[in-house]
Structure 1
Amino acid sequence: MRRRLVLLLLMLLVAICLLMGRLVFVQVLQSKWLSGMAKQSWEREIPLSGIRGSVLDSEGEKIAYTASAPSLLAVPSQVKDKEGTAQKLAPILGMPEDKILNLLKKKQLMVYLKPGGKQMSEATAEKVRQLNLPGIYMTEEGKRAYPYGNLAAQVLGITGSDNQGITGIEKQYDNVLQGVKGSITFYAKANGELMPGEGEAVQPATDGNDVKLTINRQIQQYVEREIEQAVADYNPDNVTAIVEDPKSGAILGMANYPTFDPANWRNYPQSTYNQNLAIWKTFEPGSTFKIVTLSAALQENKVNLNDGFYDPGYYEVAGHRIRCWKAGGHGSQTFLNVVENSCNPGFIALGERLGKTTLLSYVKKFGFGQKTGIDLPGEGNGILFKENKMGPLELATTAFGQGVSVTPIQQVMALGAVANGGKLMKPYVVQDIQNHETGQVISEAQPTVVRQVISASTATKVRGALESVVANGSGRNAYKYGYRIAGKTGTAQVAKNGRYESGHYIVSFIGMAPANDPKLIAYIAIDNPHPKHGIVFGGVIAAPIVGNILQDSLQTLGVQPSTQGLQKKYRYGDVVPVDVPNFTGLSVADAKKLALQNTAGLNVEILGAGSTVIAQSPPGRSKVDDGSTIRLYLGDGTSSKSIDKANQNQ
């Protein structure tokens, strides 16, 4: 019995020692690890977002920025009357009552009442404040603001309820604009109460950087003004326009119709805010594509512009008769006249002289059939014939811009190569990235040459021919006195389900100026216009629009008119040019008197405040079309600063 008691006592001692050892192991050796595990189970984190970076125009003016906006969140454990709370909030937030109730029943420390409670208007926030509901909290978050409304909407893009970029620049540069998120970390019980003796840690958020665009706000406004007028005049399905600096590839203006208000993008169809037609839409270009055929033929010495060509009104290809747009044809003409008249048979002949291998090589060199690499999401490729499937008929139609599919941005960059001495550039819309607080430039875009497509001498010949198109040919409605516009018209029938739709055309015009040293490329395409006069040609509808954009944009850039270049040959029905009086230096009264005395039919628009005309646009002694508007800028007549400002506004 005694031995048994001693054995039992020893066993108890061993057990006690083991328990004490385990206790020491847990309390001492594992203390740090277990405390960490416990803290992880108590840890709660509230994310902090920095201010999303602004989007600036080329002059550094904000065209999209983040403004403070109230958002609603709830701590479910503190909301005792969940049904009643949901019932009161539903009509204010515009959310279903059951959706709010489900959020309030979640086993989470905190939930956002979204979408209705995210980035609310101040009026909505005030209604919520007046309810004074337990467990419902208001916090300030960023909301995108657009001081210029829908300016460059598809370029800017949109942001979602969590301030994430969804389309456009907002998506492409989301990681730059968004910054780095921070957090508030604290420790709480399962019911949401704070753990006693535990503090909180704050990891501050880092604000996003600003993105400065190449978009010139004034030029962008000209582009959008002309699109609005085209929509009013022709009621088209859609319109797209681009303005580019051919020396660098920088996009100075880009707009589309239909457009939208980025502050209220949810009120528009997805196709409107999700597709930038200028880089996404593909279609048969029509005669604007003839620039490629002309450039290739001149580069390969397959034609001299003084060579003769006879157009009977059609061209026979593989048993098919392809007709010229002009009934009866153009008869005997030079190849310069072929370009001026946009004569399809003449360009088919050039295509045959080049052959399919050479023509396709130049089409690809000019950038067609592949993305340009512009820093915007959603760019299209376009479609070209494969060489092994390109017969005589396909070669003929490609030569005059039918049967191939291209994007507007591809066409702009192709003409940019002609304007830039044969160098094809890569387009871009972001000029630099800047620190949000200091404005210091972090990174800067540099012009990128993709390849040399044609020689500088060939580019000069092409520009000369295109200037003649505007002075003497199908692009005559784009002519602006003193600005040497060169360009090409386009009228393309639209194919649907493998067949061309009767009466459905895309009319376009692409131009550059000044022709001797181009500073700008401008392009517009109008899909399915309905003119009152019933004439659907690119030269009639699109050409004058590009002429207006180029003239106003060149004046904004300070490019002075020139007396050099080809003079327009006037025909019956053309608008006659008139001289612009010199209003600069006159008092307001004398300026009005001169305007009344002028018999040229000019309209006068007075801008600014002051007693004296300190600048005008167009300038005095220049020539404009009869009925044009002359803008007069007023000032005090003595301040050089006010004169400089007026000149910039021109």
Structure 2
Amino acid sequence: MNLALSIDPYVQHQIELELANIAEKFDPETACIIVTDPYTGFILGLANYPTFNPNRYTEFDESTQKNRAMTDPIEPGSTFKIVAASAALEERLVSIGTYFDCSIPTLRMPSGYVAKLPKDWKPFGILTVEDIVAKSSNRGAAQLGALVGSNGFYDYVRKFGFGEKTGLDVGIESRGILNPVRKWDGLTLTRMTMGHAISATPLQTHYAMAAIANGGLLMRSQVVSRILDIDSKEAVNFGPMVRRRVVSNQTARTMSELLLKTASEGGTAFKAGIPGYQVAGKTGTAQKIINGRYSSQSHVGSFSGFFPASDPELAITVIVDGSRSGMPVSGGSAAVPAFKNVAEKLVPYYAITPVNQDRAYALGGARP
């Protein structure tokens, strides 16, 4: 018996090259890039840094031989804000035009507890839900979470696949860390909405975003597409496996529109945009915990996105954990450029048709 994988050699090569670029510029502790078909859940490429040579594996540290995308959970940061926004929209508690005062320092929670809100990366005033997502407001996300409530928010976190395995049957997979509501304190909800107080693997973060891309379905992560017999004839064919519906198609489409604005002028990921191709996604910049405290100097930068937003063909997630080169890491500075570099290689390879032909520019590297 032989296994046929969904991994595309060209995609795998391109993301490994991009990880080498990231390593040269940032010298991160770790980094990874994931590429999937959002509608099927099949992995087209997955690479980690640092890595090893399987032909000489004894010469490398054992830590380099882990598939960190599935074994090492981290706090996801602002990529996680899609959960609070999706939950509030799905429950019809808000519309994209509902506005919130994102300058307030405290918020009375449903329990009556007055929580101190996390600071934003820049001062904000009145923001709509659309702006909260596009500009990545921590205080705005906290207010969305408070509307949904602790139990409701927890339910949506679980729906999006956090706290459980993605289903990739290759090696050991972590469930991440998601405490039940009974173990939350007065600040947990306001912190979790911004991607702290929870740990998730890169694969979990990726498939949560892919659920927005495909219309609201959480797909099982798969890398084995077929099983071949000894004569190389197909014995078993694996199709897409839906784990569950997370949100309605309408909510997913609305979220796609908001994430499209995030990757447009004025959004935190505007540099991810490829003219004519409608990139949608969300940045994340999470403070790392150093010696038991959040560090203002060490960060994990991430970007999870898909394109074209109106009919996605690819979902890509980039995560860069720390920097030892002196170059600061954030979602916008480290992950977004890597996403764009990979996407620009894959557009011609998969012959992805631009949504706006007039704005598109020529990209080389078509599939042979």
Settle same-fold status: TM greater than 0.5.
yes
Shift of 1:316: 4.4
> CA–CA distance in 1 between the matches of 2:189 and 2:351?
43
CA contact (8 A) 2:256 2:280 kept: yes
> CA–CA distance in 1 between the matches of 2:316 and 2:106?
32
> CA–CA distance in 1 between the matches of 2:302 and 2:360?
28
| SS of residue in 2 equivalent to 1:542 | helix
User: What letter corresponds to residue 385 of structure 1 in structure 2?
Assistant: N
Instruction: Look up the match of 2:120.
Output: 325
Shift of 1:374: 0.7
> CA–CA distance in 2 between the matches of 1:482 and 1:544?
17
Q: Does 2:83 correspond to 1:292? A: yes
> CA–CA distance in 1 between the matches of 2:94 and 2:186?
20
| SS of residue in 1 equivalent to 2:73 | coil
Instruction: Look up the match of 1:443.
Output: 236
Segments of 5+ residues of structure 1 without an aligned counterpart are 1-208, 565-578, 580-620, 625-629, 632-645
1:163-312 correspondence to structure 2 within 5 Å: 209-273=1-65, 275-312=66-103
| SS of residue in 2 equivalent to 1:259 | coil
User: What letter corresponds to residue 489 of structure 1 in structure 2?
Assistant: T
Q: Does 2:359 correspond to 1:648? A: no
Instruction: Look up the match of 1:91.
Output: none
The structure with the larger Rg is 1
> Deviation digits for residues 85-105 of structure 1, max 9, x if unmatched?
xxxxxxxxxxxxxxxxxxxxx
Q: Does 2:353 correspond to 1:560? A: yes
User: What letter corresponds to residue 143 of structure 2 in structure 1?
Assistant: A
Instruction: Look up the match of 2:135.
Output: 341
Shift of 1:539: 1.5
Shift of 1:494: 1.5
| SS of residue in 2 equivalent to 1:451 | strand
Instruction: Look up the match of 2:298.
Output: 504
| SS of residue in 2 equivalent to 1:337 | helix
> CA–CA distance in 2 between the matches of 1:531 and 1:311?
35
User: What letter corresponds to residue 239 of structure 2 in structure 1?
Assistant: Q
Q: Does 2:298 correspond to 1:520? A: no
| SS of residue in 2 equivalent to 1:648 | coil
Shift of 1:309: 2.0
- Cα distance change, pair 431–261 in 1 and its aligned pair in 2 (3 A): same
Percent same amino acid among aligned pairs? 35
Q: 2:248 aligns with which of 424, 434, 455?
A: 455
> Deviation digits for residues 255-280 of structure 1, max 9, x if unmatched?
0001111111111011111x100111
> Deviation digits for residues 448-495 of structure 1, max 9, x if unmatched?
111111000000000000000001300111111111110000011122
1:102-141 correspondence to structure 2 within 5 Å: none
| SS of residue in 1 equivalent to 2:263 | helix
Shift of 1:386: 1.2
CA contact (8 A) 2:303 2:339 kept: yes
| SS of residue in 1 equivalent to 2:323 | coil
Shift of 1:518: 0.9
Shift of 1:312: 1.8
Q: TM-score, normalised by structure 2?
A: 0.93
> Deviation digits for residues 553-582 of structure 1, max 9, x if unmatched?
232111122218xxxxxxxxxxxxxx9xxx
- Cα distance change, pair 313–237 in 1 and its aligned pair in 2 (3 A): farther
> CA–CA distance in 2 between the matches of 1:531 and 1:344?
28
User: What letter corresponds to residue 561 of structure 1 in structure 2?
Assistant: P
CA contact (8 A) 1:421 1:456 kept: yes
Shift of 1:313: 6.6
Instruction: Look up the match of 1:390.
Output: 184
| SS of residue in 2 equivalent to 1:511 | strand
Shift of 1:503: 1.5
> CA–CA distance in 2 between the matches of 1:262 and 1:321?
49
| SS of residue in 2 equivalent to 1:374 | coil
User: What letter corresponds to residue 521 of structure 1 in structure 2?
Assistant: A
Name which of structure 1's ranges 388-397 and 236-245 shifts more when overlaid on structure 2. Answer: 388-397
Number of corresponding residues: 363
Q: Does 2:130 correspond to 1:411? A: no
> CA–CA distance in 2 between the matches of 1:325 and 1:293?
16
CA contact (8 A) 1:238 1:526 kept: yes
| SS of residue in 1 equivalent to 2:301 | strand
> CA–CA distance in 1 between the matches of 2:269 and 2:106?
23
> Deviation digits for residues 48-91 of structure 1, max 9, x if unmatched?
xxxxxxxxxxxxxxxxxxxxxxxxxxxxxxxxxxxxxxxxxxxx
Shift of 1:338: 1.1
Shift of 1:314: 3.8
> CA–CA distance in 1 between the matches of 2:228 and 2:76?
38
- Cα distance change, pair 370–241 in 1 and its aligned pair in 2 (3 A): same
> CA–CA distance in 1 between the matches of 2:324 and 2:285?
14
Shift of 1:496: 4.2
CA contact (8 A) 2:275 2:360 kept: yes
Q: Does 2:77 correspond to 1:358? A: no
Instruction: Look up the match of 1:119.
Output: none
CA contact (8 A) 1:477 1:540 kept: no
CA contact (8 A) 1:313 1:323 kept: no
CA contact (8 A) 1:313 1:330 kept: no
User: What letter corresponds to residue 510 of structure 1 in structure 2?
Assistant: S
- Cα distance change, pair 313–323 in 1 and its aligned pair in 2 (3 A): farther
CA contact (8 A) 1:248 1:425 kept: yes
> CA–CA distance in 1 between the matches of 2:2 and 2:211?
31
Q: TM-score, normalised by structure 1?
A: 0.54
- Cα distance change, pair 490–313 in 1 and its aligned pair in 2 (3 A): farther
> CA–CA distance in 2 between the matches of 1:505 and 1:535?
8
CA contact (8 A) 2:277 2:360 kept: no
What value does the CA root-mean-square deviation take over the aligned residues?
1.9
> Deviation digits for residues 514-551 of structure 1, max 9, x if unmatched?
1001111100111112565x543211221121122223
User: What letter corresponds to residue 338 of structure 1 in structure 2?
Assistant: I
